[in-house]
Structure 1
Amino acid sequence: MLARLLNHLFEHDAPARAELTRFQGRAIRLTFPVLQATLQVGADGVWLASEAEPEATLTLSTAFFITLLVDRVAAQKRLQMSGDAELAAGIGRVLGQVRWDAAEELSQLIGDVAAQRLVWLAGIVGGIPGAIASRMLVHLVEYWRDEAPLLANRPAVDRYCSEVDTLRDDVARLAQRLALLEQKTV
């Protein structure tokens, strides 16, 4: 099922499919929150279900998709890769570049104009939660840092580190004094 879904996405994205051919014959395990499968890349960039031992595993958790709504760069850090890092990173990069043309898919069902309007409306409505979540996160961080100090701000962290360094030096000097006093009393 995952192979069919990915092949459908790659069907209209020739550059992504061409880049995928670099990984021809290699097997990777893709794990999504509700789907997982071991797949192999075919000769023409087609995904094939595979029973082969995967060379790498690429896991896209629920946290990845939630973070993706707010920040694409931060979402990349939530990708979990194991095995052949080059293969997992390459497949991950190709998957990240694939674009689904929702308007094209919908136009086959409801016509071009209606599909364009529906996609435009979904973009507006879909962008609202991401924008709200982003602003809310910024406000929460500021609140926790400034009003209810759950998070430390940079000057406080620097001051704390400086005090720890001073304390460490003081303890080292005290240890030296104690060692000298012990030598004098012996």
Structure 2
Amino acid sequence: MLASLLNRLLAHDHTSKVALAGYAGRVVRLVLPAFSGTLGIQPDGTLQDVDMPAEATITLSPSFFSTWLFDREAASRKVGLNGDEQLAAAIGQILSGVRWDMAEELSSLIGDVAANRLTWFAERVGGIPGAIGSRLLLELGEYWRDEAPLLARKQHVAEFCSAVDTLRDDVARLEQRLQRLG
């Protein structure tokens, strides 16, 4: 299932398929919060579900997706790489560049002109469903951070972490001092 989904996206991204083809014969496991799959990379740059041990594993934590909406750099730190980390990083980099072309998908159902107009309209009205969801999450995040403080600001978290580090260092120095005295 995972391979067919990714292959559908790769069908419109020749550059990513060529890049993946360079890793033909390699096996990676992709672990998402809802499902996972072991994927064999084919010589044509497509993926195939396989029942083999993976050389590398890429794990996306549940918090990856919500973090990605706000801070893509921080989200990249929530990706787990196991096994052959160079292979996992390379495949992760290739797959992160794959994008869904909604107009292309719709054109096979309703025609090119209608698909382009519908896509244009969706972007003007508020974006495709994924963008609407991300905007909603951004708005909720701002509300929870500013109006009903359930979330901390990045600066406040950094200040708190700095204070904890300072306290830890102070306690370590105090322990050393007590050991010398006692």
Normalising by structure 1, we get a TM-score of 0.72
Instruction: Verify: 1:90 aligned to 2:95, yes or no.
Output: no
The SS at the match of 1:106 is: helix
Instruction: Verify: 1:133 aligned to 2:133, yes or no.
Output: no
For residues 65 and 160 of structure 1, do their structure 2 counterparts lie closer, same or farther at Cα, with a shift above 3 Å needed?
closer
Instruction: Verify: 1:25 aligned to 2:25, yes or no.
Output: yes
Aligned mates of 1:41, 1:156 — CA distance in 2: 42
The aligned residue for residue 166 of structure 2 is: 161
The SS at the match of 1:53 is: coil
The SS at the match of 2:82 is: strand
Tell me the amino acid that sits aligned with residue 133 of structure 1.
L
The aligned residue for residue 103 of structure 1 is: 103
In structure 1, the gaps of 5 or more residues are 180-186
Asked if the contact 1:145–1:153 (Cα under 8 Å) also holds between the matched residues in 2, the reply is no
User: 1:16: how far off?
Assistant: 0.4
The aligned residue for residue 14 of structure 2 is: 14
Asked if the contact 1:70–1:131 (Cα under 8 Å) also holds between the matched residues in 2, the reply is no
Normalising by structure 2, we get a TM-score of 0.73
For residues 167 and 111 of structure 1, do their structure 2 counterparts lie closer, same or farther at Cα, with a shift above 3 Å needed?
closer
Aligned mates of 2:24, 2:166 — CA distance in 1: 51
Count, aligned residues: 173
Instruction: Verify: 1:115 aligned to 2:119, yes or no.
Output: no
Q: More helix by proportion, 1 or 2? A: 1
User: 1:10: how far off?
Assistant: 0.9
Instruction: Verify: 1:69 aligned to 2:69, yes or no.
Output: yes
**Higher Rg of the two aligned structures:** 1
Asked if the contact 1:60–1:79 (Cα under 8 Å) also holds between the matched residues in 2, the reply is yes
For residues 156 and 122 of structure 1, do their structure 2 counterparts lie closer, same or farther at Cα, with a shift above 3 Å needed?
same
Aligned mates of 2:161, 2:66 — CA distance in 1: 31
Aligned mates of 1:166, 1:29 — CA distance in 2: 43
User: 1:67: how far off?
Assistant: 2.8
